[in-house]
């Protein structure tokens, strides 16, 4: 698949939906199709998936080495260390690795280009892209000499608009948290609360009352195995007047009705904390300014590509904008909360590599908390880099250098294997029952000739999924009953569905899976895990503009398609599919023996 053998021909990176030329080698940025093109043409999305291990390794190495850039006489990681010892670098890297953002796919394609062309001069590569800014970004990353028209705008955004919006964010935080009662800051040193659960709260008081007794969407029945636990609830949305007031009323109701203690994972900061956060914000802004030139030209030891350009936007936001001040406030808030934990406490929290988790693990460790346990309640995916580190960093996770849990709990063997393959110690990763998927045990399969289409939460991904399904319907070979279910976050309308409008259903996911003969969904959908666990033939529609985020990428348990012909072929083969062994997809046992053993030990 290497293109370095055709260096006498001009090489073109083709971005967009227009038909590429066939008289010269083309690297297709966002397409799987290479038929009828020059024989040396390559689909970058396909290459990335076929060479995923080495490409992911290079991105992880980039993050590992990026933090060592010298700022004066100290590496970047230490230059961003707060007075309490937490480096803001780890919160920034979490933002840059966020699932579903375009930055990781962009970086993967840049690395793929470098690998494909090998010794070919990347500065001579032509870039054909209708988006002028994106074209320049690709050229700059490849080493072209281009004038970035956004340089002045970026300077004003980072050092003028950024501080103004950060100040506004700080003012809003102080205004909305003024309503917190004094007892929100009272520490809880009752040794009876030796198990602490961190949970999200996104309920209004009225909906909370309808769900009494309280059952967490994350912890389910496992929390009932613990006597007198302590609960801390993280706001699922940004701090606002309504979110704080509603959450406090919900927690007040829970404390009246239950034996367990419930608190909000939020405090009212003192004037000293606010001034300290402002001082650190200005310090980090100065670090960003001093390191900017080195960062722009940074190249890792495994690549000559300027990968920083792929992550410029989240990096700038995490250092100069509202995200920066929020991270600093979060660190000080978490420090106060962790001061209330009893030293014998065992803290269980959802492992998603969110900024608040990094603050939690750091400050809890400073307080000498007995044990920190991160629980991956959903599936661990190969391209979800929030769960992965360079091997050199995995060895120090959980130390004073790198915030992290003492133990990681996962709900399936594939998740466990992925983490162990990424240099996590096997003794540190433990298998427990999948709490969020126990409902699958109650699903009764009464299979009918029904094709269920499960939509995603992004409009662009849904558009491709529904376009392929509509094309299959137009060809007249899709004769089964069709039912389309919207994602809760993105309700579909006739504008999205077109000729599939009459197929939209409001049935629950469990009801649909009980009758589905085949399920079609996107590669990014987490619902595929539910389908595979029930043994339903599952077809994933790949997105050429992103990555294959499915936990079943390259797995025989699903069929991945990229065009309508492949979809029709997969539907035909699904009718004759034999029942596959999916027993190891999740660990499912209603008696929760593994959780019982975890809490016992």
Among 403, 419, 437, the domain boundary falls at 437
Count of all residues that appear for the chain in the document: 601
CATH classification of the domain holding 235: 3.40.50
pLDDT digits (tens, 9 = 90+) for 225-258: 988 888 999 987 777 767 788 888 888 888 876 6
pLDDT digits (tens, 9 = 90+) for 6-19: 445 668 899 987 88
| Higher local confidence (pLDDT), 289 or 246 | 289
Same domain for 461 and 565, yes or no, is yes
Q: Range of 354's domain?
A: 188-264+340-437
Residue 159 DSSP label = I
Residue 442, phi then psi, degrees to nearest 5: -100, 0
CATH classification of the domain holding 531: 3.40.50.2000
For the chain, the helix, strand and coil percentages under 3-state DSSP, each to the nearest 5: 45, 15, 40
Same domain for 548 and 464, yes or no, is yes
Judge whether 551 lies within some domain.
yes
Mean pLDDT, all residues of the chain = 85
Q: Are 69 and 294 in contact (CB under 8 A)?
A: yes
CA distance 564 to 570: 10
| Higher local confidence (pLDDT), 206 or 598 | 598
- Classify residue 376 as exposed, middle or buried by CB count within 10 Å of its CB (0-12, 13-18, 19+): buried
Q: Are 366 and 339 in contact (CB under 8 A)?
A: no
pLDDT digits (tens, 9 = 90+) for 39-94: 888 999 999 999 999 999 999 999 999 999 999 899 999 999 987 889 999 988 88
| Higher local confidence (pLDDT), 194 or 514 | 514
Residue 407, phi then psi, degrees to nearest 5: -145, 150
pTM across the whole model: 0.89
Same domain for 425 and 466, yes or no, is no
Judge whether 594 lies within some domain.
no
| Omega prior to 213 cis, within 30 of 0 | yes
pLDDT for 223 beyond 80: yes
> Which residues, in sequence order, are bridge partners of residue 418?
none
Q: In angstroms, how far is the first alpha carbon of the chain from the final one? A: 52
Same domain for 432 and 444, yes or no, is no
| Residue 138's pLDDT band (cuts 50, 70, 90) | confident
Angle at 333 between CA 332 and CA 336, to 5 degrees: 90
Closest CA to 544 of 529, 564, 523: 523
pLDDT for 555 beyond 90: no
Among 391, 419, 437, the domain boundary falls at 437
Judge whether 107 lies within some domain.
no
pLDDT for 189 beyond 90: no
| Higher local confidence (pLDDT), 211 or 298 | 298
Integer angstrom CA distances of residue 248 from 76, 187, 210, 349:
39, 17, 17, 20
Same domain for 554 and 542, yes or no, is yes
| Residue 595's pLDDT band (cuts 50, 70, 90) | very high
Judge whether 235 lies within some domain.
yes
Residue 453, phi then psi, degrees to nearest 5: -110, 120
Judge whether 102 lies within some domain.
no
Judge whether 35 lies within some domain.
no
Judge whether 330 lies within some domain.
no
Section 250-277 average pLDDT: 85
Q: Which residues contact 385 (CB under 8 A, 6 or more apart)?
A: 56, 59, 60, 97, 104
Q: Which residues contact 198 (CB under 8 A, 6 or more apart)?
A: 232, 234, 265, 347, 348, 349, 350, 360
When mean pLDDT is compared across 2-6, 35-39, 255-259, 450-454, the lowest value belongs to 2-6
Same domain for 498 and 358, yes or no, is no
Section 204-230 average pLDDT: 72
Indicate the SS3 state at residue 13.
strand
Same domain for 381 and 465, yes or no, is no
Same domain for 404 and 473, yes or no, is no
Q: Are 454 and 520 in contact (CB under 8 A)?
A: yes
Same domain for 478 and 568, yes or no, is yes
The winner for highest mean pLDDT among 114-123, 176-185, 256-265 is 256-265
Judge whether 348 lies within some domain.
yes
Integer angstrom CA distances of residue 317 from 88, 157, 550:
12, 9, 28
Task: Count structural domains, the chain.
Answer: 2
CA distance 426 to 19: 49
Same domain for 526 and 467, yes or no, is yes
| Residue 283's pLDDT band (cuts 50, 70, 90) | very high
Among 437, 463, 492, the domain boundary falls at 437
Same domain for 365 and 483, yes or no, is no
Same domain for 472 and 558, yes or no, is yes
pLDDT computed for residue 244 by the predictor: 83
Residue 435 DSSP label = G
Extract long-range pairs of 577-580: CB within 8 Å, 24+ residues apart: 577/537, 579/535, 580/535, 580/556
Section 292-319 average pLDDT: 88
Pairing of strands 429-431, 450-454: unpaired
């Amino acid at each position: 698949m290497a293109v370095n053998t055709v260096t006498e021909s001009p090489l073109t990176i083709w971005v967009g939906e227009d038909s590429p030329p066939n008289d010269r080698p083309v690297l297709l940025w966002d397409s799987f199709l290479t038929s009828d093109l020059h024989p040396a043409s390559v689909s970058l999305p396909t290459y990335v998936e076929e060479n995923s291990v080495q490409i992911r390794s290079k991105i992880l190495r980039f993050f590992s080495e990026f933090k060592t850039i010298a700022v004066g006489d100290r590496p970047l990681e230490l230059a961003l260390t707060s007075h309490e010892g937490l480096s803001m670098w780890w919160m920034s890297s979490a933002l840059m690795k966020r699932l579903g953002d375009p930055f990781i796919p962009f970086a993967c394609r840049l690395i793929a280009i470098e690998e494909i062309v090998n010794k070919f001069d990347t500065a001579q590569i032509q870039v054909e892209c209708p988006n002028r800014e994106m074209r320049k970004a690709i050229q700059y990353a490849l080493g072209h000499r281009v004038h970035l028209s956004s340089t002045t705008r970026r300077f004003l955004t980072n050092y003028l608009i950024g501080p103004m919006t950060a100040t506004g964010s700080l003012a809003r935080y102080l205004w909305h948290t003024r309503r917190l009662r004094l007892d929100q800051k009272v520490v809880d040193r009752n040794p009876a609360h030796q198990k602490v659960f961190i949970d999200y709260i996104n309920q209004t008081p009225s909906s909370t009352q309808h769900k009494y007794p309280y059952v967490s969407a994350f912890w389910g029945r496992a929390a009932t195995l613990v006597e007198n636990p302590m609960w801390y609830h993280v706001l699922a949305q940004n701090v606002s007047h309504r979110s704080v007031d509603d959450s406090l009323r919900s927690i007040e109701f829970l404390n009246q009705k239950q034996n367990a203690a419930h608190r909000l994972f939020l405090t009212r900061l003192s004037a000293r904390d606010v001034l300290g956060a402002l001082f650190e914000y200005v310090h980090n802004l100065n670090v960003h300014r001093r390191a900017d030139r080195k960062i722009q030209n940074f190249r890792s030891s495994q690549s000559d590509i300027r990968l920083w350009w792929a992550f410029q936007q989240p990096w700038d936001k995490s250092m100069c904008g509202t995200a920066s001040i929020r991270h600093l406030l979060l660190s000080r808030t978490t420090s106060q909360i962790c001061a209330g934990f009893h030293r014998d406490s065992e803290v269980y929290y959802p492992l998603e590599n969110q900024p608040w988790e990094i603050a939690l693990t750091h400050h809890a460790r400073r307080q000498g908390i007995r044990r920190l346990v991160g629980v991956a309640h959903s599936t661990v995916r190969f391209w979800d880099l929030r769960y992965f580190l360079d091997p050199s960093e995995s060895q120090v996770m959980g130390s004073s250098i790198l915030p992290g849990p003492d133990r990681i709990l996962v709900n399936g063997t594939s998740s466990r294997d992925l983490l162990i393959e990424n240099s996590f110690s096997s003794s540190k990763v433990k298998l427990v029952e999948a709490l969020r998927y126990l409902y699958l045990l109650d699903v009764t399969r009464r299979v009918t000739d029904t094709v269920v289409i499960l939509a995603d939460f992004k409009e662009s991904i849904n558009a491709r999924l529904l376009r392929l399904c509509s094309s299959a319907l137009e060809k007249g070979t899709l004769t089964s009953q069709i039912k389309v279910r919207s994602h809760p976050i993105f309700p579909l309308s006739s504008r999205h569905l077109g000729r599939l409008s009459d197929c939209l259903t409001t049935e629950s996911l469990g009801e649909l899976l009980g009758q589905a003969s085949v399920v079609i969904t996107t590669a990014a959908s987490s619902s595929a895990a539910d389908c595979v666990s029930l043994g339903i033939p599952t077809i994933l529609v790949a997105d050429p503009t992103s990555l294959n985020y499915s936990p079943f990428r390259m797995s025989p348990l699903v069929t991945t398609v990229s065009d309508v012909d492949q979809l029709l072929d997969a539907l035909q083969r699904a009718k004759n599919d034999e029942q596959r062994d999916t027993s190891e997809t999740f660990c499912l046992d209603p008696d929760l023996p593994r959780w019982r053993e975890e809490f016992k030990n």
